[in-house]
Chain A
Amino acid sequence: MGWFAPKRSAASAKERLQLVLIHDRTDLTPAELILLRDEILQVISKHVDVDSSAVQFAVEHDGRSQRLVADIPLRSVTRRRAE
């Protein structure tokens, strides 16, 4: 690894393993996760106005359990009226 490399290999190993283990444990592929995200957004959008550009959607691990964490910012009504 070169002197100017931004990241040492241990950090890549850990990052890659974090993703692989989540998928191994949940049997959820990245493509399925995107599908899930889009469907959830569709449902929410029926009721409130969602800022879809700022949505965060990920499976996080906490010890040996996984959780689906979604951060979905909603557009405020007042701002919508002002537009």
Chain B
Amino acid sequence: MTAQVITLASGKGGVGKTTAVANIAVALAAEGSKVVCVDGDIGLRNLDVVMGLENRIVYDIVDVIEGRCKLRQAMIRDKHLPELYLIPAAQTRDKNAVSPSDMVRICNELRPDADYVLIDSPAGIERGFRNAIAPADRVLVVTNPEVSAVRDADRVIGILEAEEKRGTALIINRLNPALVKQHDMLSAEDVLDLLGIALIGIVPEDETVIVGSNRGTPVAQDPRSRAGQAFRNIAQRVRGEEVPFLDMDKQPGLWDRLQRMRGRK
């Protein structure tokens, strides 16, 4: 086994990087891959709560770097998926506690025992982002169909080009098909035309994502969630499978809604 190291970055904060990491990781692990998530946002850790693992943290990534524990001890196993792990960020330290070469070293140690290492980059294009992309074999850029998010994504893509990173692909998150239809939101085609890179997924705006974060169970595990389906499709494309993109115009039908209501009870 030699893991592929994939970093999710965005430039702008709040576009859904952490949610995307948790969901893609869950979808990959549910299909039998061994996945290690690394929270790269030192001082503002969040991947633990989104994955529902906040109560299990003993050691974090800075403890590993500073030699207070072994890498194994900082890997928290998921509650449901035995092949899914999280290495949490340190909450009481800052980004300078980690260097790009520390990240490369940790990922190299993980590579022989995993299929995928997913790194959640912090927002911005400074030290934390540089740490997160240093070990990456490929970077997935997360954006929203919205001016500031697209502009920041373009900056990130420019930096990745300068660093000669290969396989960069775009996740368009929180697309609202009704708004696109009435021409009040950039369409996926508009965003791709502006940014000029490959697409790996379009995730519709979906309230089940918030419910999933509230509970600490990513929606990729919910067969009824539209966003969950989109994240499962991204996971399949990460594995190199060809999957058609979701038809965004298809609104959930009455039957889907009834099923969903039944599921909530």
Tell me whether B147 and A17 are in contact (CB under 8 A): yes
B147, B154, B161, B182: the one contacting A13 at CB < 8 Å is B147
Q: Which of A1, A20, A21, A25 has the most CB of B within 10 A?
A: A21
Are A8 and B154 in contact (CB-based, < 8 A)?
no
A-B contact count (CB 8 A): 47
Interface residues in chain B, defined as those with a beta carbon under 8 Å from any beta carbon in chain A: 146-147, 150-151, 154-155, 157-158, 161, 180, 182-187, 190, 193-197
- Set of chain A residues within 8 Å of B190, measured between Cβ atoms: 10, 13-14
CB pair A24 B183 closer than 8 Å: no
Contact among B151, B184, B197 with A9 in the assembled complex (CB-CB below 8 Å):
B184
Chain A residues near B154 (CB-CB < 8 A): 21, 24-25
Instruction: List residues of chain A with CB under 8 Å of any chain B CB.
Output: 1, 8-11, 13-14, 16-18, 20-21, 24-25, 61, 63-64
Top 10 nearest A-B pairs (CB, nearest first) are A8-B183, A63-B196, A64-B196, A10-B183, A9-B184, A14-B190, A21-B154, A13-B147, A17-B194, A13-B186
Also in contact, A17 and B155, with CB within 8 A (given A9-B184, A11-B183, A63-B196): no
Chain A residue nearest in CB terms to B153:
A21
